[in-house]
Amino acid sequence: GGQPLQVVANGAPLTYSEAEAAAIFACADLDVRLDLGAGGAKAAVWTSDLTHDYVTLNAHYRT
For the chain, the domains span 8-58
pLDDT of residue 14: 93
CA distance 49 to 4: 22
Paired with 8 in beta bridges are 13
Indicate if the pLDDT at residue 52 is higher than 70. Answer: yes
pLDDT of residue 12: 92
Answer yes or no: are the C-beta atoms of 24 and 5 closer than 8 Å: yes
CA distance 1 to 38: 26
Name the pTM for this structure.
0.52
